[in-house]
Amino acid sequence: MRKFQQLKIGEREVLLYLPPSYEKTVRHYPVVYVHDGGFLFTSCLNYLEHLFLSGQLPELICVGVETACRNDEYTPWPAEALTPTSIGFGGMGRGYIDEIAEVLKPYIDRHYRTIPAADSTGMIGGSLGGLISWFAGYWRPDVFGKLGLLSPSFWYPGVLDFVRGSQGLDPNLRVYMSLGGLEGIYKQTVQKNMVYCGKEVYRLMVEQGFPQAQLTFAWDPDGTHDDLFMAQRFPEALQRLFHSTPGLLQPVKENSARYHIPGTEVWRMTADHTGREYRVFVAVPDAPPPEAGYPVLYSLDGNASFGSLAEAMRLQSRGPHGIPAALIVGIGYDSLEPLVTTERFRDYTVYAEDGELPERPGGTKWPETGGADEFLDFLERQLKPELGRRYRINRAKQTLFGHSLGGFVTLYAMMTRREAFQRYAAASPSVWWKNHVLYTLWEQAGETFPDAGESSPEILLITGTEEKESMIRDARELMNRLTQSCPKLAVEYKEVEREGHVSVLPALISELLRFVTS
């Protein structure tokens, strides 16, 4: 079988790709229509076929649609040229989209084994091709149910006004949008607004009620506006649009020959406002949820902590005398390392100047810091609501747990947004960060806690007796400050005998699980 077929449908040249199993089966396939002649799929075909054959992406028919003039056919209305030496924009996009919907697609559906329904039909393009794909969702949602917008040219004159005045896209669509932080930064024309306009359209879509489970926003701070960046995003766009488990959480495929903890799942999730990608590890109890729902433990440094916590909960919650079952959620990163240094320094700290930190061992430079609030926003605004949709959760029994820097951000969350969780567990917390800034924060926050009544959180502090003296001293001092200024605050402090900064983790698991489920 020839992988590619050059066709002429009406007056339009197209490049057709049929997937590996097409001539071996009688199956019908989803179809994706790709602008600019399909270079996005021809440039990564070997990788796409790997995704097909490994089960990471359903096999697709790809149709590359040629154009004689992008500036005419990929724009929604006419506009003047951007510079005296460039050409203007013809605004013939509606006719182009209708031609694909009413001429090209019917021909492909008649002559090839397709799944004609809109929810099995996609349209993807880059730059102006991303812009016109987005308009296809407004004009023809009856035909194109999946839209791939790679570095879309939302800077185009009048687009933001159009979005603000519209009722929004059909909520049954599925949309993938990618954007690079360096797009347009060297332009002198309106194209310099690429990043702002892209983020603004995304914000407006969310504000207008487009379901976030149907929307992926892929942000690359180093991404530029060129074919390389768009082609790199194309396979992921197909996965997010056509995978059988859509939404904010996407499954991470594991080697089935490896050991797997029963009842666990691993997902990837992208933060809306930062574009940072996280691994979300979930352990669901065997027992059905109680009427109030499962208690939940959110564990930071999920790469290091999740496996031990999941196995311990699976064992200790066995009846008839076990502890109540709880949902274990680990928040980690795309890494094989247990502790992902750069990312955790960013997510688990408030910003600190060099003069506010001790000299780092070896004299090396401290990593980027200061992302604690963005990280906690991700937990609050995306992760918790998504888990609440998937599982029956007891919203009155949610615990945040972190170790070391994770302990710092756990206590920071307790002091700055205490109602986010009902219980906070900090192991060997880095109280020293930013000249002991937690002491200052508590002076400000502690004044409101005595009046909080039943809404006051419960706090568990744990250290090992073999840790640095300063680590133990800081934890004791923090505990004293918490209880002295707020005697009714439920604070429990424990020191685990013969355990150091790392070895304290497995030693505290039973105590932590009792704290979570009591």
What is the rounded CA–CA span in Å between residue 33 and residue 10? 16
CA 37 to chain centre: 31
Pairing relation of β-strands 61-65 and 174-180? Answer: unpaired
Pairing relation of β-strands 121-126 and 31-34? Answer: parallel
Contact 128, 75 (CB under 8 A): yes
What is the rounded CA–CA span in Å between residue 138 and residue 136? 5
The answer to whether the Cα torsion of 447, 448, 452, 455 is positive or negative is negative
* Cα separations in angstroms, 215 against 169, 173, 197, 271, 455: 11, 9, 17, 12, 35
Residue with tokens 């247990």, as numbered in its chain: 338
Checking phi first, is residue 497 left (phi over 0); if not, alpha (psi -120 to 50) or beta?
beta
What is the rounded CA–CA span in Å between residue 350 and residue 357? 12
CA-based radius of gyration for the chain: 27
Cα distance from N-terminal residue to C-terminal residue, the chain:
63
CA 80 to chain centre: 38
Mapped to the 3 state alphabet, what secondary structure does 105-118 carry? HHHHHHHCCECCCH
The Cβ-side half-sphere exposure at 39, using a 13 Å CA radius, reads: 11
Backbone angles phi, psi at 105, to 5 degrees: -60, -45
What is the rounded CA–CA span in Å between residue 504 and residue 497? 9
Tokens at 426, concatenated: 């900090």
What is the rounded CA–CA span in Å between residue 300 and residue 281? 10
- Point out the residues that are catalytic: 404, 467, 501
